[in-house]
Chains A and B, each alone.
Chain A
Amino acid sequence: MKTWFTPAFVMLLIILIGGELVVRIFYKADMQGRFEYGYNPTAGFVENADGTVNLIRAGGRRFWPQIFSKTRPPGTFRVMVIGDSVPRGASLATAYPAQIGGKLRASGVKAESFNLAIGGNGAARSEIILHKALDYQPSLVILHVDNGDEFEDEREFRRAEAFKGWHPRTWLMKSFFIRRLYEVTTEQIFWKLVPAEVRVLASVNDTGDKVLAGANPATRREWDARVQKYTAESVALARQRGVPILLLTESRLHADGHDGFYLDDRGLDELMRPMLGGGVYFLSMKKILQKTNFAPLFTDGTHLRPAGHEIVADAVVEKLRQTGLVSGGH
């Protein structure tokens, strides 16, 4: 009679269990909030023993890797930018959050700026990041507001909730080892080797579903209501903690049908109006860019080239001076 467990099968089990233990022991911080798709308040923030904080890619957060002190250095103007793929930018250095810090420092202000933006993050997940960011004494939070990411926010919330449940569909991914491997495959191989055209055709990122949902006026109204609700909560939170907040509304580029283009804020500017005042400031990307030859500043209908980021950074710095949040320098 043969035994139930062959040595080869036992070896497979040992490797899998060993891998799971290694990941759980040595990569604990990296796996923080792994199954919460950005709905974990601390995922991606690693507080070190030396008093610094690392921003890392973990737990549904794809922060640009950055490091800052847990306590704001005395006399330093600390800016934290929270938002979606637009402020995140194609690179950390060229995106407007980094450019704001650079411009402030160049004008003699002792300043530091951090990019806490994550592609696909809508208002709800931005609010969760804000909760944690406020622990690090920002002098100003810039909340980049858009109403085009609510589909992802809702989808990821459902995923996060599903992972808390018993459903067999999620059993395999509850292993930290498998999940880590899956994410490495996704981020290091799939996204790098498979072109966007191929991914879009395979609907890997739900593009079709999102476009379909967005075409429904009722759904768009629901998304606007979500944006208003969560942004209002963020504003209230910042006020409560005494941190000034700048609401920067996103704008999209559209063809006008006559070989020209126009900018569309999709009602966001109007949506933000009731929240202003009392430490809450406002900038409209539409109004900033309208003063320029804006079409070449976009890589697509949404995302900006470095030159576009620079114009936004200039406008933010100008706003900070006008409002007296920063002074001195040139």
Chain B
Amino acid sequence: MSFVSWQYALFLPLLALLYWQLPWRGRIFLLIAGSYFFYGMWDARFLALLLTTTVVDFFGALAIAGEKKSTAKVIGIGLLPFCWLIGCSTFYSAQPAVAKEIIFAAGVFPVAYGALYQLLWRLPPEKQRRAFLILSLCSNLSVLGFFKYFNFFAGSLETLLAKLGWHPGWTLLHIILPVGISFYTFQSISYAVDVYRGVAKPTNDFFTFAAFVSFFPQLVAGPIERRNDLLVQLEKPAKFEVADIHDGLRLILIGCFKKIYVADNCALLANYAFDSKTALNGQWALLGVLAFAFQIYGDFSGYTDIARGSARLLGIRLNRNFSFPYFATSPSDFWRRWHMTLSFWFRDYIYIPLGGNRHGALKTLRNLWIAMLLAGLWHGASWTFVIWGAYYAALLTLYHVTPGLNRLAVPEKISRGWLVAGAALMFAFTLVGWAIFRSKDMTQLTGWFAAFGNWNVSAAADWTKPGGWWLLHVVPLLLLQLATWKARDEAELSRFAWPVRGLIYTLLFLLVASSVAPDVEFIYFQF
């Protein structure tokens, strides 16, 4: 179910109304049911994967903390994915049938997991914790690896072998990428690691944990939450505050504005610039990447705002994911402002465990490169995403080693003039990054760069009027950013008097309601 659909417009208020009528336990069950329904609207079969992740990390985290559960309980709860798939095969005739092999694997899973669970408890206590963490990481990463990266690596290997003169001739599997898999597996991994590090306590309540893993506002595209941010809020009953409803509705309105008005209308131009069979000229290459920059920002930050707003209607606060990213003065500043929960995830679970910046310049750069390459690959199974990650690693290196540029990494310590110059330079670098990100393959990417060698106006469709279209959709967003800049929160308007707020709300609502562009799926769902 998309956030910008009539189904969601009915689903959310109905769920919120019911939610506040129920006692705490009832709310948890409602959240699970609502979240599974929300996710199942895409493809109910993949809820079995979500259940598997939930089961493995629930028992895994408890075991890491030294709490053993009975084999019967582990196997009993472990049967849930199998039961779900049987239910799908029986009742969901509209969807493609679940393969027998998958049902068999789901049937074997509780027995195999139960056996492994018991086996690991026989290890010496000092090895047990690590073993359960490894089990949790392996199961999460293998699910992610199979569904997201199997074909990519198999295909790349086949290409490589073919270049060496060996044609293995294996066929790639027809794998559908489950929506949001990268988000919920990362959230689940952070839970297990935090428990292992002792910075978080595992929950003893399977249902609360299931609500944490599947919490619908952030299930498919984040923000990626931690145990100490989201689960603690679910563990106790939220107190109803009218102010939360106001904040939630404001966030949803701003999110819809960013997605429907800014992103979807910019997408028209970006798609033409990158997908058209017609050769581009320099003007269209520039306009296309500018349009994509605001499409992806509006799309993803809009999604986050709607997610935060939806959660707020339920009395739950989600983390911010964006903080004026196009005003960043350096690559490191950019990553502190763009998809913040993912950046912090890579910082806390990859970069710092590798040593961070504690072991000299060379190792710092090595760690940066590893983290950025993985971050690039996280976005998608394609070499263009790997190049995108490498591009940011190279930029971070450049800013790290170049005197003058490295000062831009701390915007609080530079003058206003340098701030503007730094932001402009970084925005130009960001545009190049988005061109890499948006390109489907290397041919498209080289085509985009080649277009800058051709400034012949008649070489593509007229770009001046679409330029006006782009401005028409970007200027209101920039004005909103300026209006919220002082509050350091992209959706905070409380500093304005109510008549100004009323006008802003009206304007945003009318722009959303009269937006022309056709519906476009959220970009980050594919990750």
Contact = CB atoms under 8 A, between A and B. Distances in A.
A17 to B, nearest CB: 11
A194 B268 contact: yes
Interface stretch (A7-15, A55-63, A121-129, A258-266): A7-15
Interface in A199-254: 199, 201-204
Interface in A1-28: 1-4, 6-12, 15-16
Interface residues of B, number: 39
B362 interface: no
Contacts of B246: 2, 6, 9
Given A12-B505, A168-B9, A202-B268, A190 B466 contact: no
A186 B502 contact: no
A15 B508 CA distance: 13
B510 interface: yes
Interface stretch (A30-38, A177-185, A299-307, A322-330): A177-185
A201 B242 contact: no
Contacts of B461: 195, 197-198
Contacts of A8: 498-499, 501-502, 505
A195 B269 CA distance: 10
Contact of A178 (B465, B514, B517): B514
Interface stretch (B82-90, B166-174, B272-280): B272-280
Contact of B506 (A12, A168, A189): A12
B6 interface: yes
A291 interface: no
A157 to B, nearest CB: 20
B242 A3 contact: yes
B6 A190 contact: no
A198 B284 CA distance: 12
Interface centre among B246, B461, B468, B513 (most CB of A within 10 A): B513
B201 to A, nearest CB: 34
B465 A194 contact: yes
A171 B513 CA distance: 11
B119 interface: no
B199 interface: no
Given A181-B514, A182-B516, A197-B272, A12 B243 contact: no
A49 interface: no
Contacts of B517: 202
Contacts of A16: 506, 509
Contact of B466 (A7, A9, A178, A195): A195
Given A1-B242, A195-B462, A9 B510 contact: no
Interface centre among B465, B510, B517 (most CB of A within 10 A): B510
A9 B10 contact: no
Given A178-B514, A201-B271, A11 B462 contact: no
B295 to A, nearest CB: 12
A2 B498 CA distance: 15
A10 B501 CA distance: 11
A168 B6 contact: yes
Contact of B278 (A1, A12, A184, A197): A197
B498 A11 contact: yes
Interface string A70-81: 000000000000
Contacts of A184: 514
Contact of B499 (A3, A9, A11, A169): A11
Contacts of B98: none
Contacts of B498: 6-8, 11
Nearest to B501: A8
Interface residues on A, range: 35 or more
Interface in B458-514: 461-462, 465-466, 468-469, 472, 498-499, 501-503, 505-506, 509-510, 513-514
B506 A202 contact: no
A172 B6 CA distance: 10
A3 B272 CA distance: 47
A186 B517 CA distance: 9
A181 B513 contact: yes
B203 interface: no
B322 to A, nearest CB: 23
A13 to B, nearest CB: 9
B124 interface: no
A194 B510 CA distance: 20
Interface string A157-194: 00000000001110110000010011011100110111
Given A11-B498, A11-B499, A193 B6 contact: no
B276 A7 contact: no
Contacts of B514: 178, 181-182, 184-185
Contacts of A203: 518
Nearest to B496: A8
Nearest to A186: B516
Contact of B272 (A15, A167, A201): A201
Contacts of B506: 11-12, 15-16
Interface string B513-527: 111111000000000
Interface string B137-154: 000000000000000000
B465 A2 contact: no
Given A1-B242, A2-B246, A193-B466, A204 B518 contact: yes
Nearest to A14: B502
B513 A189 contact: no
A2 B242 contact: yes
A193 B502 contact: no
Given A11-B502, A197-B272, A202 B518 contact: yes
B242 A198 contact: no
A172 B512 CA distance: 11
A300 to B, nearest CB: 16
Interface in B1-57: 6, 9-10
A202 B275 CA distance: 10
Contact of A193 (B245, B469, B518): B469
A168 B242 contact: no
Given A1-B242, A8-B502, A168-B6, A185 B515 contact: yes
Contacts of B245: 4
A198 B270 CA distance: 9
A20 to B, nearest CB: 12
A33 B241 CA distance: 44
A183 B462 CA distance: 24
B435 to A, nearest CB: 18
A192 B466 CA distance: 9
Given A199-B268, A201-B272, 4 more contacts: A3-B242, A8-B498, A16-B509, A194-B466
20 contacts: A2-B243, A6-B498, A8-B499, A9-B249, A11-B502, A11-B506, A12-B505, A12-B506, A12-B509, A169-B6, A182-B516, A185-B514, A192-B465, A193-B465, A194-B268, A194-B269, A194-B466, A198-B272, A202-B518, A203-B518
- What 8 A-B pairs are tightest by C-beta distance, nearest first? A11-B502, A8-B501, A8-B502, A181-B514, A7-B498, A193-B469, A2-B242, A198-B272
Interface of B: 6, 9-10, 241-243, 245-246, 249, 267-269, 271-272, 275-276, 278, 461-462, 465-466, 468-469, 472, 498-499, 501-503, 505-506, 509-510, 513-518
